[in-house]
Amino acid sequence: MFVLEFKVEAKTKQYQAIDEAIRTAQFIRNKCLRYWMENRGVNKYDLSAYCRVLAHDFKLAGELNSQARQASAERAWSSISRFFDNCKKKVIGKKGYPQFKKFSRSVEYKTTGWKLIDPKTIHFSDKKEIGTLKLKGTWDLGYFKQSDIKRVRLVRRADGYYCQFVLSCDVKEDVKPSGKCIGLDIGLTSFYTDHEGHQVENPKFLRKSEKRLKRLQRRLSKKKKGSKNRQRARARLAKAHLKVSRQRKDFAVKLARCVAHSNDVIAYEDLRVKNLVKNHCLAKSINDAAWYQFREWIEYFGVKFGKITIAVPPNYTSQHCSNCGETVQKSLSTRTHQCKCGCVLDRDENAAINILKKGLGTVGHTGTFGLDPINAWGENTSTFSEVILSKQVISLNQESPRL
């Protein structure tokens, strides 16, 4: 399954109707969550049945499509089930107890309540009176069957409204094997360093935009609360943040696609970013680098192109010598790896070689190609990419149509 996204063009009254539908979906989700809190033993089917009660008791809930109400209840149950899973797994720290939503930005329809008039026009038929919306984008919905569209979302962002289509289709693409493998060491000085010593510069989009963001934030803080000027200042700040996030996504998508297209085996560090950002000295830089987003797209394109992607434990990849295997202790400030065996490498290049070796050991490659990790490539593997990955990205809405 993947997602196609279009910009929505409509009249002011229709935008207001979309906002009302989003508020109603938020209301139903919060009501379902309250119902679960006050009644012991409630399951997802009880929440779905409770939607009918809400539609009878509240006019605004009855105006929303029945399946859109059920989708809102499913969102509530998703947060509940995630909380139960964290409790069962005994996750350290907070378990993520479900919270009430204050600022929802989307409403989701299933298979009813909407109809495609043509590939660039959609009509919503519930009592919210959203009506007919024009879709602006490069994707061609006429290529897909309407039965392939499982869900439709209306999303509000800082720069307008968007319509997302969730399709159940095969996204695989045939790509000629390159016969290459690559090990990637993610960092802050350079975005990544591969096992051959090639580096990609860290773009640092947030750092470069920080001066402008701070200026917009100061202007917002000076405006009177509740005024029109404050709303406009808030919108300008939101658009600036949205631009930074889109720059980061575009960089991650293009780079991940290039790496997956050029290599048959990709080994990278299985970093726990949630733990790394606890270091307050590096938290902003780590979030700005968006390592996990890059990893998600590597895994997505690995499935799409039929490539093998391997998440390697990062333990001691920087400390072990890639030539002899000895442990060479070094601090973060030490950027050069020097070993007694005579191996002198950049710290990140040494780590990338170790990551590739671990990755190739994971897939169980066959054949002997010497000690050089670049040539340690076997055509026969004991596992496939679907087995290696515990989670695959199924969203295509951020993939640039220019690629």
Lowest mean per-residue pLDDT among 137-146, 228-237, 334-343: 334-343
Relative to beta strand 308-312, strand 265-269 is: parallel
Residue 90 has pLDDT above 80, yes or no: yes
Whether residues 149 and 28 fall in one domain: yes
69 within a domain of the structure (yes/no): yes
Cβ 393 vs Cβ 296: under 8 Å: yes
Whether residues 163 and 198 fall in one domain: no
Whether residues 259 and 155 fall in one domain: no
214 within a domain of the structure (yes/no): no
140 within a domain of the structure (yes/no): yes
Q: Give the end of a domain, one of 111, 141, 167.
A: 167
113 within a domain of the structure (yes/no): yes
Q: Give the end of a domain, one of 140, 167, 194.
A: 167
Cβ 15 vs Cβ 173: under 8 Å: no
Q: Which two tokens stand for residue 11?
A: 């009249």
Q: Give the end of a domain, one of 167, 191, 217.
A: 167
Cα Dmax for the chain: 78
Whether residues 20 and 163 fall in one domain: yes
Q: Residue 363's pLDDT is what? A: 60
Whether residues 161 and 198 fall in one domain: no
Whether residues 146 and 9 fall in one domain: yes
Whether residues 269 and 144 fall in one domain: no
Chain centroid to CA 214: how far?
26
pLDDT confidence of 236, banded at 50, 70, 90? Answer: very high
401 within a domain of the structure (yes/no): no
350 within a domain of the structure (yes/no): yes
Whether residues 87 and 127 fall in one domain: yes
Q: What is the pLDDT of residues 27-47, one digit of tens each?
A: 999 999 999 999 988 999 999
Please state the φ and ψ torsions of residue 324, each to the nearest 5 degrees.
-115, -15
pLDDT confidence of 153, banded at 50, 70, 90? Answer: very high
134 within a domain of the structure (yes/no): yes
Long-range contacts of 225-232 (CB under 8 A, 24+ apart): none
The segment with the largest mean pLDDT, out of 145-154, 166-175, 216-225, is: 216-225
CB atoms within 10 A of CB 228: 9
Whether residues 17 and 123 fall in one domain: yes
**Counted domains in the chain:** 2
Domain that holds residue 284: 181-206+241-388
Residue 396 has pLDDT above 80, yes or no: no
What pTM does this model have? Answer: 0.81
24 within a domain of the structure (yes/no): yes
> Which residues are paired to 194 by β-bridges?
184
Whether residues 318 and 196 fall in one domain: yes
Amino acid letter, 140: D
For residue 340, give Cα distances in angstroms to 18, 195, 322, 337: 67, 21, 12, 10
CA distance 82 to 75: 11
Whether residues 139 and 94 fall in one domain: yes
Q: What is the pLDDT of residues 70-82, one digit of tens each?
A: 999 999 999 999 9
Whether residues 190 and 275 fall in one domain: yes
- Residue labelled with tokens 């006050």: 38
